[in-house]
């Protein structure tokens, strides 16, 4: 990747390419983008002691369950949730709990159908991700640290009454879902910046719905800087990991002796300034870089679809 020079393709071109290969599609079997991730995992990142999983986290299924009082006693909403992974281009499924219980470091790409409600009575799909390491969850939503009452609500259209109802939580809906999931998996997860990306939305200037590319970029760079990022996560510096992924000329090593809180403050400030400066270019450049790299002829020719 270091020697790869991405092209400056326009949004329409790169999104059309993404759709054709499967980057922004929710099917798994024969998805060439997913197969490419696992080819890179097997070749480029073969020495990393980690596993990549895809998890379908349908908010229409899980939000109503975790909202009910009965859930506080039973806590079994995610008992049979599956994870998906590839070997030799074949898609396999296994219980997420079984994968987590192996104790390996796991990177999860969350595919989130029915994530939010639209004005036209349809639901939108979103993409987030998490790293499970040493019984800790580090969760990244490209939306960042949204605030306000609305992000704590999940809306549902009631066909019978023809009314719009909602479930309201104390935290953003996605964090509540992740928190409930991780609690059932016996994994520690906290809403603070050590375990949750609390910076400015990475897709602040995204007008095309390109959330899918950010978890992919984070996974690729996590694998590419495996030991370095594991060290940062163990120190509580998730924010610095995200900073280093998207601001390549940043020098986080020079801050090693500073208190953790100051390092987090610096990373947050740098990311905020960078995102506001780059605007839509951050989204477009991220698309071009990772989709362009993974769809290179010299990589695709080695994959026997």
Instruction: Answer yes or no: is pLDDT of 2 > 70.
Output: no
Instruction: Answer yes or no: is pLDDT of 95 > 90.
Output: yes
The pLDDT of residue 121 is: 80
Distance CA 178, CA 88 (A): 30
How much of the chain, in percent, has pLDDT values that exceed 70? 99
Instruction: Answer yes or no: is pLDDT of 147 > 80.
Output: no
Report the 10 Å Cβ neighbour count for 67.
Answer: 16
The pLDDT of residue 68 is: 84
The residues spanned by each domain of the chain are 11-146+173-300
Residue 215's nearest CA partner among 125, 63, 111 is 111
The pLDDT of residue 113 is: 96
Residue pair 144/199 in contact (Cβ under 8 Å)? The answer is yes
Average pLDDT over residues 48-72: 92
Report the 10 Å Cβ neighbour count for 98.
Answer: 10
The pLDDT of residue 70 is: 72
Instruction: Answer yes or no: is pLDDT of 120 > 80.
Output: no
What single DSSP character describes residue 188? B
For the stretch 278-298, pLDDT in tens is 999 999 999 999 999 999 999
> How many CA atoms lie less than 13 Å away from 19 in the CB half-sphere?
9
Average pLDDT over residues 79-96: 95
For the chain, the average pLDDT equals: 93
The pLDDT of residue 78 is: 94
Q: Which residues contact 15 (CB under 8 A, 6 or more apart)?
A: 24, 208, 210, 287
Residue 279 tokens read as: 């605007």
Report the 10 Å Cβ neighbour count for 304.
Answer: 8
For the stretch 100-109, pLDDT in tens is 999 999 999 9
Residue 6's nearest CA partner among 206, 268, 213 is 213
Tell me the pLDDT band of 190, cut-offs 50, 70 and 90. very high
N- to C-terminal Cα separation, the chain: 23
For the stretch 165-183, pLDDT in tens is 999 999 999 999 999 999 9
Sign of CA dihedral 230, 236, 238, 243: negative
For the stretch 228-276, pLDDT in tens is 999 999 999 999 999 999 998 888 889 989 999 999 999 999 999 999 9
Report the 10 Å Cβ neighbour count for 1.
Answer: 13
């Amino acid at each position: 990747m270091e020697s790869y020079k991405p092209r400056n393709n326009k949004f329409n071109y790169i999104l059309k390419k993404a759709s054709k290969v499967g980057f922004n599609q929710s099917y798994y079997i024969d998805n060439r983008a997913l197969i490419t991730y696992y080819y890179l995992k097997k070749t480029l990142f073969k020495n990393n002691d980690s596993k990549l999983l895809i998890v379908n986290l349908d908010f229409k299924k899980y939000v109503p369950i975790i909202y009910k009082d009965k859930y506080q006693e039973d806590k079994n909403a995610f008992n049979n949730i599956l994870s998906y992974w590839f070997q030799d281009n074949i898609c396999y499924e296994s219980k997420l709990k079984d994968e987590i219980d192996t104790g390996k470091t796991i990177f999860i790409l969350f595919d989130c159908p029915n994530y939010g409600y639209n004005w036209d009575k349809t639901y939108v799909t979103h993409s987030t991700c998490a790293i499970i390491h040493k019984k800790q969850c580090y969760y990244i939503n490209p939306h960042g640290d949204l605030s306000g009452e609305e992000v704590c609500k999940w809306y549902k259209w009631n066909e019978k009454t023809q009314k719009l109802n909602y479930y309201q939580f104390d935290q953003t809906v996605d964090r509540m879902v992740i928190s409930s999931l991780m609690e059932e998996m016996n994994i520690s997860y906290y809403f603070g910046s050590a375990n949750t990306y609390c910076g400015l939305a990475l897709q602040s200037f995204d007008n095309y719905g390109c959330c899918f590319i950010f978890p992919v970029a984070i996974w690729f760079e996590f694998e590419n800087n495996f030991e370095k990022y594991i060290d940062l996560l163990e120190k509580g510096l998730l924010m610095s990991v995200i900073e280093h992924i998207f601001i390549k000329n940043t020098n986080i090593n020079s801050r090693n002796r500073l208190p953790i809180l100051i390092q987090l403050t610096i990373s947050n400030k740098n990311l905020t300034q960078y995102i506001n400066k780059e605007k839509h270019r951050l989204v477009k450049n991220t698309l071009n870089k990772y989709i362009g790299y993974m769809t290179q002829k010299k990589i695709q020719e080695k994959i026997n679809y």
